[in-house]
Amino acid sequence: MRLVLASRSPQRRAILERLGVDFVVRPGDVDELAHGDPDTVARENALRKAAAAAPGEGEVVLAVDTIVALDGELYGKPQSAADARRTLGALSGRTHTVISGVVLLEGGGEPLVHSAATAVSFREIDQRLLEWYVATGEWQERSGGYAVQQAGGALVRQIEGDYTNVVGLPLALLLDVWPSLLDAVPSSPAVR
């Protein structure tokens, strides 16, 4: 099986590369849901991404959509520095949930659809910390306006659950539902 990652996310690519997994990148352009039940939105967006990648013979498409939710509100990718300030201000001193919808779609098969949730508690973000972080520019193209694996880690007090889910690819879930992922590692004993 050839793994196709239906994502432009450099974080998802990096996680797979660190594992040594062979894959190709084939993102598609889709209209994503921005409102609704967080778990449903994440799953549906991942399904749309998987379908857009159109798996061929011998291919498995991996599509993921990661969202940030707090009190039923979804916090997507901020569109401006002012939007990033509003988002981070809303998350300040509170615990939000990072939800990833994960879809595996094999050519001609039914999609496997799952989701993972991780609780992330932010420290109180004072004006100095907020302006410092917004100036990094990391908030761009990031759900919730932060990158936990980079300078955004300074905003976080505690994580309960899968850290890689917060980065953008819930590895624990992925290996639970598709253990043969490691067969795509060239040095894996399973493919010798």
- Reported as a single tens digit per residue, the pLDDT across 10-46 is 999 999 999 999 999 999 889 999 999 999 999 999 9
User: By percentage, how much of the chain surpasses pLDDT 90?
Assistant: 87
Over 70: is that where the pLDDT of 114 sits? yes
Q: Which residue from 3, 62, 14, 8 is spatially nearest to 164, judged by alpha carbons?
A: 14
Which residues have a catalytic role annotated? 65
Domains and CATH numbers, the chain: 2-191 (3.90.950.10)
pTM of the model: 0.92
Burial of 53 (0-12, 13-18, 19+ CB in 10 A): buried
93-98-102 Cα angle (round to 5) = 175
Q: For residues 109-118, b (16+ Cβ closer than 10 Å) or e, as one string?
A: eebebbbbbb
